[in-house]
Each structure stands twice: as C-alpha cells, then as structure tokens.
C-alpha cells in the first residue's frame, strides 16, 4: 500500500487529504473520519456491508480469507464501537482463539456463545473431581499393566493428577484475576487436563498471563514435591521421584511456543513469529518419536491440528498487526523475561533430576 492512501478490501483507494460525504446526511468529512460529525452515521457503511457479505460467504470454505476481510472491516470502524468489538471477536473465533463474548446477536459465531457464566460451584467441583477420579483409575490401571502393584500404581496416578490440577489452577487463578469466564478444570486420560475459556482475552498480554499461570504454578508444585522427596523420610520412594519428574516434563512441554500450548499463548505477547521455531521444534519431536512412541506422535499431531490454523491466519494473514497483539513494550519484555526464566529454571531442574533422559529417550 502506497503512503498517503487508505486501502479498502477489493482495491478501492482514496487519496489522503480529500473529503468524503456522509451517506446519510451528505455532510463532508475528512478522509480519516470514520463517523459523520453531523449525524454520527458510519462513513463507510456501504463498504462495510459489502465486506461483511464477502466474509460471511467465505467463513465455511476459507476462514483465513474471511478473517482477513473482517480485519479490513476493523479499519473502517471506530475502535470503541460495538461493531468493532463484535467483529474483532469474530476474527478470534475464526483464527482459533477462545469463543467470542459480547457483540450483536447476528455476529455470534459459535453455538452457545451467549452462555458465558461460570458453572455453579457444585457443578464445577463435580466436573473436576469426577474427571480426576476417572483419570486416576485409568492411569493407575495403565501403571499396573506395566508391572507395578495396584497400591503403588494408584498412588502414582493420584500424585500425577494432583500435579496436573495444580498446573490448571494456575490458569484458573489468572482467569479469576481478569474476570474471564472459563470452565472448571477437566481431566481427559492420556490427553491431560484443560480449562475452556468462554470468552476471548481482551489482548495478547492477558492471554499470556493466563497461559504462563499454569506452568508457573505447576513448576512450583513439582518443585515442592521434589523437596519433599529429598527431605521427608516418608517421601523417600520411587513414586515421589517419578511424579516429580513427570511434573517437570509436563510443564516444560507446555512451554513449547506453539498454540494452543501454554508457550504459544505466552509468546503471542512477545512475537507471534516465535511460533515458527516452535513449529520446527514440534517437527523435531515428531521425527524423534515416530519410531519409538506412537502415543507421543499422536499428541504432537493434535497440537499441530489445533494450532496451525491460528498460526497461518496470524502470520500469513498479517493478523499480528491487529489491535489484539499491540501491547506495551514493557509488558512484552516482562512476559518474555519471565518466560525465559521459567524455561531456564525448568531446564536446570530437568537436568538435575535426569528428567531430560526421559524426555529425549
């Protein structure tokens, strides 16, 4: 795009310094105006209507292209308008971010998006405890089938699931702090645990803080477990050590800078371009595991399946320039430093406990 021109989807341009007329009252306004100074109507209402029809027609067949067209709509709307918020959240839905919140009924993207309240406490506790119990039984049976006694296998499964809960509570605390609606922690055997955000974070900084809360608290939990193993006589056994090592592995893997992993959400606030080395690392892990661990390859493929649409839409579609990613340099640097410190600390703990041997086989 040449300097001095405002570019619209479809190739229309208007020279800087010219005036436009309000489509409703005919009042002249400077080219940079988005709202008529006289009647407060949208200056580019006709273009917005055309663009929205194009985007709606492409959402099912080409969501990346649809997101780019919606992005063009944002440039024609005041950033404090309800239309801007609704379209921005729709872009988030198309690019793989959490379900939208607010906005007009006609712009809701996902079924059930209007239901954004947190679950009642009894329901939330039942979901978490019930899925935890199921996971403990499944992991216990799996450990028992590998040769362990039922008692040891169940204690190992209990410790591992509790550490996963500590990790998820890091996310939960961050969502509470920012007032975001989210599901309670849900445990899925051999997949892990998750919370489902029921509304988009307002910007990449909030997404990063929610993302880093899990591995930060999870690492603290695993470190406490390791200190108990070293200092408390009753904890001097193989189970405490194995749970500690798996706790470090869980949090280290989640720092891989690929969405939807926590590292991908954290690096969104630093630079979405960091997702490229994350993809390279993901590919390296796949090549490493392809001959020895089909389960590990399946997990990595799932990460790629859920993360690649957002990576493609953000980088190829130039969505990284959206207001969502425009946070202060201080916030970006702070998150980057914390990310490196956490990754470095986990690397040392994994080396100290020989967890890297398990991670790399």
Q: Is residue 16 predicted with pLDDT exceeding 50?
A: no
Q: Is residue 138 predicted with pLDDT exceeding 80?
A: yes
The rounded distance, in Å, linking the Cα atoms of 336 and 84 is 29
* Cβ proximity of 261 and 303 under 8 Å: yes
The rounded distance, in Å, linking the Cα atoms of 88 and 65 is 15
Distance, first Cα to last Cα, the chain:
51
- The percent of residues in the chain predicted with pLDDT above 90, rounded, is 33
Average pLDDT over residues 160-169: 95
19 pLDDT band, cuts 50/70/90, is low
- Residues 6 or more apart in contact with residue 43 via CB below 8 angstroms: 20, 22, 23, 29, 33, 34, 35, 36, 76
Looking at residue 107, its pLDDT comes to 29
Structure tokens at 312: 């493609």
Q: Is residue 2 predicted with pLDDT exceeding 80?
A: no
Give the number of other Cβ atoms within 10 Å of residue 237's Cβ: 12
Pick from 278, 276, 270: nearest CA to 335: 270
* Across 175-184, 226-235, 263-272, 316-325, least confident range: 316-325
Structure tokens at 173: 């605390």
CA-CA distances (angstroms) from residue 7 to 47, 66, 76? 12, 17, 10
Give the relative orientation of helices 63-74 and 45-58 as an angle to the nearest 10 degrees.
Answer: 160
The SS3 assignment for 313 reads: helix
Q: Is residue 153 predicted with pLDDT exceeding 70?
A: yes
Residue keyed to tokens 């550490």: 163
Q: Is residue 285 predicted with pLDDT exceeding 60?
A: yes
> β-pairing, 5-7 with 186-188?
unpaired
* Across 47-51, 97-101, 155-159, 339-343, least confident range: 97-101
The rounded distance, in Å, linking the Cα atoms of 162 and 344 is 24
* Cβ proximity of 62 and 54 under 8 Å: no
Residue keyed to tokens 């985007």: 55
Structure tokens at 240: 């405490």
The rounded distance, in Å, linking the Cα atoms of 214 and 250 is 10
Q: What is the mean pLDDT of the chain?
A: 79
Looking at residue 361, its pLDDT comes to 54
Alpha helices in 121-149 (DSSP H): 121-145
- Residues 6 or more apart in contact with residue 156 via CB below 8 angstroms: 139, 140, 143, 148, 239, 242, 243
Which one has a higher pLDDT value, 306 or 118? Answer: 306
Query: Is the whole-model pTM more than 0.95?
Result: no
CA-CA distances (angstroms) from residue 163 to 167, 242, 246? 6, 12, 9
165 pLDDT band, cuts 50/70/90, is very high
Q: Which residues share a beta bridge with 73?
A: none
Of the CA atoms within 13 Å of residue 352, those in its CB half-sphere come to 13
Which one has a higher pLDDT value, 267 or 34? Answer: 267
Looking at residue 17, its pLDDT comes to 42
38 pLDDT band, cuts 50/70/90, is confident
The rounded distance, in Å, linking the Cα atoms of 73 and 81 is 12
């Amino acid at each position: 795009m040449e300097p001095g021109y405002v570019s619209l989807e479809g190739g229309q341009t208007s020279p800087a310094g010219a005036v436009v007329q309000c489509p409703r009252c005919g009042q002249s306004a400077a080219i940079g105006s988005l709202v008529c100074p006289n009647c407060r109507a949208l200056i580019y209402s006709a273009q917005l209507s055309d663009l929205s029809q194009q985007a709606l027609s492409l959402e099912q067949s080409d969501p990346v292209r649809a997101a780019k067209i919606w992005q063009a709509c944002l440039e024609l709307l005041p950033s404090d308008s309800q239309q801007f918020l609704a379209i921005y959240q729709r872009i988030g839905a198309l690019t793989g971010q959490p379900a939208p919140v607010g906005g007009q009924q006609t712009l809701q993207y996902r079924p059930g998006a209007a239901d954004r309240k947190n679950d009642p406490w009894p329901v939330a506790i039942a979901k978490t405890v019930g899925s935890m119990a199921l996971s403990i039984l499944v992991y216990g049976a799996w450990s028992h089938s590998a040769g362990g006694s039922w008692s040891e296998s169940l204690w190992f499964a209990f410790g591992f699931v509790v550490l996963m809960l500590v990790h998820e509570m890091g996310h939960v605390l961050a969502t509470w702090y920012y007032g975001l609606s989210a599901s309670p922690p849900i445990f899925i055997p051999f997949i892990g645990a998750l919370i489902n955000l029921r509304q988009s974070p307002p910007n990449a900084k909030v997404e990063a803080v929610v993302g880093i809360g899990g591995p930060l608290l999870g690492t603290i939990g695993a470190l406490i477990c390791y200190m108990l193993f070293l200092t408390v006589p009753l904890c001097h056994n193989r189970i405490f050590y194995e749970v500690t090592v798996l706790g470090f592995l869980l949090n280290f893997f989640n720092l891989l800078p690929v969405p939807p992993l926590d590292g991908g959400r954290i690096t969104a606030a630093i630079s979405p371009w960091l997702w490229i080395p994350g993809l390279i690392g993901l590919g390296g892990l796949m090549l490493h595991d392809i001959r020895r661990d089909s389960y590990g390859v399946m997990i990595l493929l799932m990460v790629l399946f859920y993360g690649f649409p957002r990576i493609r839409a953000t980088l190829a579609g130039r969505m990284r320039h959206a207001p969502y990613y425009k946070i202060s340099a201080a916030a970006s640097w702070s998150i980057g430093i914390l990310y490196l410190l956490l990754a470095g600390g986990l690397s040392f703990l994994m080396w100290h406990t020989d967890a890297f041997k398990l991670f790399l086989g």
